[in-house]
Every structure is written in C-alpha cells, then in structure tokens.
Amino acid sequence: MKYVIPSFQRADKLKKQTLRYLNLHGVSKDDIYIVVRTDDEGYSIFEEEYNIIKTDVKGIGKTHNFISEYFEEGEFICEIDDDLSDMIDIENKSIENFEEEIKMLADEIERDGVSYGGFYSTPNPFFMKNVKTKYTKDLRYMLGLIRVRKVRKDIILETDYAEDFENCLLHYIRDGGIVKNNYVAGKTNNYAKGGCNGDGRDNQTEKDAKEFLFGLYPTYCKLYQRKNGRWDLRLKDKN
C-alpha cells in the first residue's frame, strides 16, 4: 500500500500530526508519498526521508486528478490529509494497528468489486454505536481525511472545495457502491490554517462547489445550510 499525503503551506503540521501518527504505527517511510507545490519550499526538510512528488497543480480536486494520473491504473493507494492526529473506534479508543485497518478496508473494497472506501466521518462513538454493521456499501458521505481507493483514470473531479463529496458520488455512480467502515473514524483539526483554507476555500467557494454538484446529481444529494452558516450536502442512496 502506498500512503499519499497532499499538503500545502502546512509542513510543520504535517510533521507533528500525520507523519508522527504514521511513524508511531510503523509505516515504512518508503511507502509514504508527499504531494507538494513546486514553489512551496517548506517541504525540503522531508526530501531525504520521504518520497516527494512536486506539482504545479492548484486546488485539492485538481490535485486528486494529478494523483490519479501519477499512480498506475488499478493500484491501491491510501490518501491522507496532512493533519490526521488519531483514529478511534466505537469505544473511543485509538486503533491498535493502522496498517491492518487500512488493509481490511482494501480487502472489503476488492471483495465488493468497487474502487473507493473510507471511514466514519465524525469521531463520535455515540453515533458510531448506532450503526449495526461495520461495513456498508450504499451511498454515504466519507470525509476526505483518510480514504482508500483503486486508482481510476476515468474518475475526474470538477470541484476543488467539495472533492470528498464528489469522490463519493462519482465512485458510487460508476461502481454501484462505495465501502464505508462505520466503526472507525479519524480525528483532525477541521478548517485549520493552510491547506485548502490557504488555497481559496471559504463559505462562498464551498457553496459554489456544492451547488454545482447538486445541479449535476439532484437524485443523489440535497443542498442545505447549517446553523453555523456553512453550506453542505446530504448524500442519499437512490435505492
């Protein structure tokens, strides 16, 4: 398995969170690929230890497309945001073996004949305990914090600030299912400085991206506004 981490203007956060977490779990540095902007010089400190992939592509959706082109068709990769701090289970305990959990998700994706999978979106054991099965295959939202996928050249994202929704939608429509692990969730600092926030994401750009997806896939999603003012989508399985 190759672990691919897109990062922008957050080299220090990457070091203290995602890389620290992967190192604690014994993930080989040879299997870690960090995708950075050509002009983002803060990542030079990682060049001797990790695989650094440089690109001039801007935007997380376009970076996703770049990653799909970079790796081989059908290859399993695990994409991780640069601010992953932990992964917990339904008992609110940190999982013991990160790579084993990733492998089990990949095996489930392979077994179901689909190409995309992820984890429960919110690290809230109260809600996780209400889910009856560990894996589901219907259309459910999976946060882009950490996901496993088989590279597909025919999945091309058109949005930058709703790419996790678009990934779920496109893979579900193309494959007839996506795999979600309902018993494990990642922890992070949402909307942290840098990353997409340093790359132009705000409430209006998110709204525009989500309105665009709703316009394309009204059968599969609904646009709504949260109490905090942020715009969001609810995914709905047509079956």
| DSSP symbols for 187-238 | E--TT-SSGGGGGT--HHHHHHHHHHHHHH-TTTEEEEE-TTS-EEEEE---
Angle between helix axes 163-175 and 203-216 (nearest 10 degrees) is 20
- The β-bridge partners of 77 are 2, 149
The residue to which tokens 């940190």 are assigned: 94
Query: Measuring CA to CA, which residue among 204, 239, 199, 198 is closest to residue 225?
Result: 204
Reported pTM? 0.92
pLDDT reported for residue 25: 97
Residue 193 confidence (pLDDT): 52
**Cα–Cα distance for residue pair 186/184, rounded to 1 Å:** 7
Q: Is-contact 9 194, C-beta < 8 A?
A: yes
First to last CA, the chain: 32
Q: Supply the pLDDT for residue 196.
A: 47
Contacts of 114 (CB under 8 A, 6+ apart): 137, 171, 175, 176, 177, 178, 179
What integer pLDDT is reported at residue 130 of this predicted model? 81
Pairing state between β 2-6 and 32-37: parallel
Distance CA 127, CA 146 (A): 19
Q: Distance from CA of residue 13 to its chain's centroid? A: 17
Domains and CATH numbers, the chain: 2-194 (3.90.550.10)
pLDDT of residue 238: 67
What pLDDT does residue 190 have? 54
One digit per residue, the tens of pLDDT, for the chain of length 239 reads: 999 999 999 999 999 999 999 999 999 999 999 999 999 989 999 999 999 999 999 999 999 999 999 999 999 999 999 999 999 999 999 999 999 999 999 999 999 999 999 999 999 888 888 888 999 999 999 999 999 999 999 999 999 999 999 999 999 999 999 999 999 999 987 545 544 444 556 778 889 999 999 999 999 999 998 888 888 999 987 65
> The tokens of 36 are what?
């950075």
